[in-house]
Chains A and B, each alone.
Chain A
């Protein structure tokens, strides 16, 4: 074997460092998925299993949490229950065993729908407006450009909740409290600074020669933007959308303050699902599990873009 065969590039990781990296990542992944696994497991436990001590790692799965999450129930006397016709569905049967009857659907589905509408709605507007603004900041000579950009960023320099009371008073005046529109506007406003800054970085990286070529070739600026800039900014837009969605989806404080009924989102609703003698933990866990799904799916769909997105375009070429 010649020396050349043994030579190794210093930029290539050695097999040992590769294995070490794999172990570190595996441990990290394991640790961060424990809470998620716990929540999912709890959602399939019975209420007594959920609060058992020591915690039960092995248990008989039950859908009681999910049934409780989606239904409103009342407790009845055994005599009354006996007088009822036999249960027609599996979930009625499940509820009867606890001496209860289903009185109707719970408010969870509505809250969940609110979360979807407000989360995706505000993400759409933040990214849509952010893309246009970022394009303008990136390409045009705008008076006071640097100051405007700094001003936009400065809205991120305090915790959003610091403006909770002014926002609350303003919303009451405008009749925007507890409306989906109000929440979409609020989350859009908060996310816009992030989206303008992130997207400006991405658009700055797209050489302006592309649009200029298109414009000389017979396209208007807007057409060139759509045909040339948008496809190349797709990765950045996807990454920005994920960040915006995660914020809007998880936001708790404003949702708690500004919504109570019609427009309440899932985050303030889920922790307050009351069961027999306190919180109904399996139902809370079931709600949380379902709540995790959209962001997970959205992120997995856009995962390829996200990696490039969070490295801020460093890997683009």
Chain B
């Protein structure tokens, strides 16, 4: 009884309270993150079969040097680079327009662009699959027919760019509105006097955009860049839904996570899947450290 009492008063002490508060995080972090990471490291050096596991050294990592994995990495990198090239400047310009004094119905347009972000990837993915259908009556082909363009097999056709175009449009459709909101909130913090004095000095609209808006929105841009790298490199479900499974013709929609899913799940090659996961974990950690350093996160927290 007295032990219980002492335990209770200890838990209620001001010194221990913070650890009680953050204990759920510590437990979840150790059990559902650190433990799986350690398992990943161990299994990546093993051949894991039901009932027997065998240490095979670096074999799993050596096996990574193959055409399919290169294809997956190339696809993920190209996808990330293009989404960043589109999803930073376009939302920036649209946000500046939406914020301008000449714009009407601002709230209406802001909401409309945001709505696609509410839809699950399952619904969005198969809607786009049907829009990009190969039949001449499918939406995109039927629209293009008005301009005399022949029906195209967009998904997994002979030319790879059509597959990529579908993936990119799906991504832009879902995220443009969210990035516009980030930029709009950034624009609210730029004092109006800056533009007025620049206008007095004779700066035109483009110069004001280039020398005031873009530099002052830099923190927002860095944030969007960070989440875009994350989202781009871990892209999988977009491709999975667009192709109704993990099998895109010729690997045109294969991504790094898709490759992990194929080997770790579909082929139950857990050791190899773990090696892929470990490599990606190290790369992601590296990118994050660079990113956080560049944006001054360490200084602020330390």
A binds B: no
Q: Could you list which residues of chain B lie within 8 angstroms of chain A, going by C-beta atoms?
A: none
